[in-house]
Amino acid sequence: MATTTPISPHEAKLFFQTDGGIVSLLMRYSYSINHSFLSMRIPFLLLAYVSVFLYYKVAKEYFQDQGMAYFSTVVFAFLPGVLTASVLANISILVIPLVLLFLIFYKQKNYIFISLIMVILFFIHQASIIFFISIFIYSLIQRDKKLLILTSSFLIAFIYLAKGISIGGRPSGHFADIFGLYAGVFSPLLFLYFFYSNYRILLREKKSLIWYISFIALVVSLILSIRQKIYITDFAPYVVISIVSMIHVFQNSLQVRLPMFQDKYKLAYYTVMATFVLSSLVIIFHKAIFYMIDNPKEHFAYKLYYPYNKSQELKKQNLTCIENLQSRYRYQFRFYGISECDFKSKSDVSKIHN
C-alpha cells in the first residue's frame, strides 16, 4: 500500500510546507534518497511496525493469557485508522509509539525516560496538551507526586507559550462528523462497543493509565466538536491505544457467565469482528475497488487517484500544465510536476471538466 498509493492532499501539503514540522522534514529527507512513494513513507512505515511491537509489550501487562495479548495487538494493528496512518505520512504514527513508550516506562517508574518522552511530545505534537491533561488528572487521583509535578510543568509551559489546540467557533454540526470519523478509524460496530466499554470502565471497572489517556481524549474531542471542526489526527493517536482495555472488558463479561449464557455475547463478537475485518479489507484493497466501481468519484480515495492519473495522462501528451486547477489538488499536481497554465503557451494546456 505504501508503495502503490498516490500522495494524499494532506501529504502533498506537508511535503511543500517549510513549517510542516517533523513530518515534513522526514518526508522530504526520505524522498531525496529515492524518489518514490515508498521512500517518502518509509520512516512512518517503520514506526508503524515499532508501534505494533510496543503495543504487544503493553498488552502483555493486561492479560495472563498470551493469546489474548496477541489478539488485542492484531486488532490494534488492523484498525482501519492505524492501517491508514501506517501508509500515509502523518503525525499520528509518530505519536502512538511515544505514548506506548511512556506507558512502558511508567510501569518501570523510569522518570528519566518519561521526562524525555514528554519533552518530545511537547515539541512535535501541538495537540499533546490532551495527553498532559490526562496524565495530570491520573496523577492527581492516584496521588503520584512526581508525575503530578512533572505534568504540571508541561501544562504551565503550554499556557505560557500559548500552544495547544485552538478553541473557538459556535455550536455547529460537527458532532455527528466526529462520530463518523471515529467509526472510520475503528469500523462502525467496533467503535460503538469501544465507546460502551470506556463508559463501563468509567462507572464500575478499574481505571488504568491507558484508559485515562484514551477516555479523556475521546470526551474532549466530542465536546470540542459541538463548537468547531476538529482534526482526527489530534485525538486518534491517544484514543486508539485503549483497544486493550476494550478487549479486557469483553473478556471479563464473557468469563463471568456460564457457558449457556454466553451465546448472545459470542454472536455480538462475531458480528462486530465481521464488520471490523470487512472495514480493514476495504482499506487494504481500496485500489482494486477504485478501478472496479463504475463511478470512481464515489470512492473515498478519489482525491488520491484523480491527480495521479490525470498527471500521468498529461505527461504522456508532453504537457506540463493544466487549466482551471482546483486549489484542493494544487499541491498534488505540483508534486507530480504539473502546474497551472498561465496561458502564455496555448499548446501546453489541458482542460478539466468538473
Locate all alpha helices (DSSP H) within 162-262, ordered by sequence: 174-186, 188-204, 209-225, 232-239, 243-255
Nearest 5°: phi and psi at 262? -95, -5
Whether 350 contacts 319, CB under 8 Å: yes
What is the structure's pLDDT at 323? Answer: 79
User: Quick one: which of 30, 272, 234, 246 has its CA closest to 133?
Assistant: 234
Cell numbers representing residue 97 in the block: 509509539
Distance CA 17, CA 266 (A): 49
What is the structure's pLDDT at 97? Answer: 97
CA dihedral 97, 98, 104, 106 (to 10 degrees): -160
Cell numbers representing residue 190 in the block: 467496533
Whether 117 contacts 98, CB under 8 Å: yes
* H/E stretch holding 67: helix 66-77
Distance CA 227, CA 231 (A): 13
Distance CA 178, CA 192 (A): 13
Q: How do strand 339-340 and strand 321-322 relate by DSSP bridges?
A: parallel
Render pLDDT for 91-128 as a digit per residue (tens, 0 to 9).
Answer: 999 999 999 999 999 999 999 999 999 999 999 988 89
Distance CA 185, CA 243 (A): 12
Residue ranges with strand state E in the chain: 321-322, 339-340
Distance CA 122, CA 143 (A): 23
- pLDDT tens over the chain, length 354 residues: 999 999 999 999 999 987 768 999 999 999 999 889 999 999 999 999 999 999 999 999 888 888 999 999 999 999 999 999 999 999 999 999 999 999 999 999 999 999 999 999 999 988 899 999 999 999 999 999 999 999 999 999 888 886 766 666 666 667 788 888 999 999 999 999 999 999 999 998 889 999 999 999 999 999 888 878 888 888 999 999 999 999 999 888 877 777 777 788 889 899 999 999 999 999 999 999 988 888 888 888 899 999 999 999 988 888 888 877 888 888 999 999 888 887 554 444 444 443
Domain boundaries defined on the chain:
9-284, 293-348
CA distances from 251 to 62, 168, 260 (A): 11, 41, 16
